[in-house]
Amino acid sequence: MKFIFGPVASRRFGTSLGIDLSPGKKQCNFDCLYCELAPALTVNKQSETYPASDILKELKNSLIEHPNSDVITLTANGEPTLYPYLDELIIGINDIKENRETLILTNSATLNNKQTYQSLLKLNQVKLSLDAVTADVFKKIDRPYADINLNKIIDSVITFSNEFTGKLFIEILFVRGINDTKEEINALNKVLKELKCQRIDLGTIDRPPAYPIEGLSYNQLFEISHMFDANLPIHIASRKNIQTEPSNYSNEEIINTLDKRPLTQDDVTILFNKSSIKRLHQLIQKEEVRIKHIANLDFYMPSANISRKKVK
Ligand code: SF4
């Protein structure tokens, strides 16, 4: 099984080697409207799982191949904190990461689980999503597993933000007509003022979503950013400000990386060196990679991924 992907230049987190903790299928306790993955029934635990030792073995090899990555990112086809051996894995990564940072991208829903909470404290960076803080809007946008309680999530996020000594990022992803109302933004603002975090990223849909929804324009995000308290570390997530050196990708790495994250021409220009771009074009000629036009942007995607998305 292939757990490691990248390196990818994250718009916000630097050059990152990703670890997919659910490489076989989507396993998530949310079914967000904006998810890049196909819609799926929500779950509260993983049914398909792998030993931490297998992941660590593959990571060791990737760290030798890609010594310049500066972040190791725990993510998943779904929610990474559902991985049952998360604590063992984080301890193992901390043993081999050297001067790299560790990061997890989580939807925050399991943060009220004591074990998850303690495991996340062992990381250098944590990104917690918080798309909505009123029950109706939360249910509409994130479509959570039945027993998930929004108030418990909010309480845990506030407590965690006060205890965590690493870098904490909050992400709010806006969907037009769902969580971009004045009422929801005021409610979010109230909660955010109780948090201690490095940055609050305001984002919107910039990759093919699971459901037919619309994102906001940069100008709309800019307007929303002014509706939050001026003291909050609000940041409009954008493709600008990426600083990374182009890397060499094998054919397999190109397919694997595009499978995890469709890339635009801008991304490719930033990430791929000349010979990798040549290999990408050969893959397009062989129809192993295709270009899909979505929301004014062209995305490179593996053909297999496009067919999967059509099934959704
Ligand atoms: S966006 Fe993340 S949290 Fe939401 S359904 Fe997809 S994988 Fe799960």
Torsion angle, alpha carbons of 251, 65, 15, 33, to 10: 50
Choose the residue to mutate in 26, 27, 31, 32 for probing ligand 1, maximizing ligand atoms within 8 Å of C-beta.
Answer: 32
| pLDDT for the residue 216 | 87
Is the pLDDT at 206 greater than 90? The verdict is no
| pLDDT for the residue 14 | 76
Question: Which residue has the CA at smallest separation from atom 5 of ligand 1?
Answer: 31
Percent of the chain scoring above 70 in pLDDT: 90
| pLDDT for the residue 311 | 36
Question: Which residue has the CA at smallest separation from atom 1 of ligand 1?
Answer: 35
Distance CA 274, CA 255 (A): 17
Res. 75 pLDDT band, cuts 50 70 90? very high
Q: State the distance from the centre of ligand 1 to the C-alpha of 177, rounded, in angstroms.
A: 19
Question: Are 5 and 22 contacting, i.e. CB atoms less than 8 angstroms apart?
Answer: no
Neighbours of 11 (CB within 10 A): 17
Question: Are 203 and 235 contacting, i.e. CB atoms less than 8 angstroms apart?
Answer: no
CATH assignment of 246-312? 1.10.10.10
Question: Are 267 and 299 contacting, i.e. CB atoms less than 8 angstroms apart?
Answer: no
Distance CA 123, CA 61 (A): 21
CATH assignment of 4-243? 3.20.20.70
Ligand 1 close to Cβ of residue 171 (< 6 A): no
Ligand 1 close to Cβ of residue 258 (< 6 A): no
Cα dist. 1→157, 221, 279, 307 in Å?
Answer: 33, 39, 23, 21
Is the pLDDT at 252 greater than 50? The verdict is yes
Q: What residue segments make up the domains of the chain, in order of their start?
A: 4-243, 246-312
Torsion angle, alpha carbons of 290, 61, 47, 87, to 10: -130
Neighbour order of strands in the sheet with 289-294: 263-264, 297-302, 289-294
Average pLDDT, the chain: 89
Q: State the distance from the centre of ligand 1 to the C-alpha of 81, rounded, in angstroms.
A: 12
Res. 307 pLDDT band, cuts 50 70 90? low
Q: State the distance from the centre of ligand 1 to the C-alpha of 92, rounded, in angstroms.
A: 25
Q: State the distance from the centre of ligand 1 to the C-alpha of 93, rounded, in angstroms.
A: 24
Percent of the chain scoring above 90 in pLDDT: 69
Segment 103-113 mean pLDDT: 97
* Bridge partner list, 71: 16, 101
Segment 68-81 mean pLDDT: 94
**Which among 15, 18, 26 has a CA at the least distance from the CA of 2?**
18
* Bridge partner list, 203: 173
At 133 the three-state DSSP class reads coil
Check residues 113 and 242 and name the one with the higher pLDDT: 113
Check residues 308 and 41 and name the one with the higher pLDDT: 41
Q: State the distance from the centre of ligand 1 to the C-alpha of 28, rounded, in angstroms.
A: 6
Question: Which residue has the CA at smallest separation from atom 6 of ligand 1?
Answer: 35
Q: Which residue has the tokens 């929301």?
A: 295
* Bridge partner list, 14: 10
Tokens found for residue 273: 């060196």
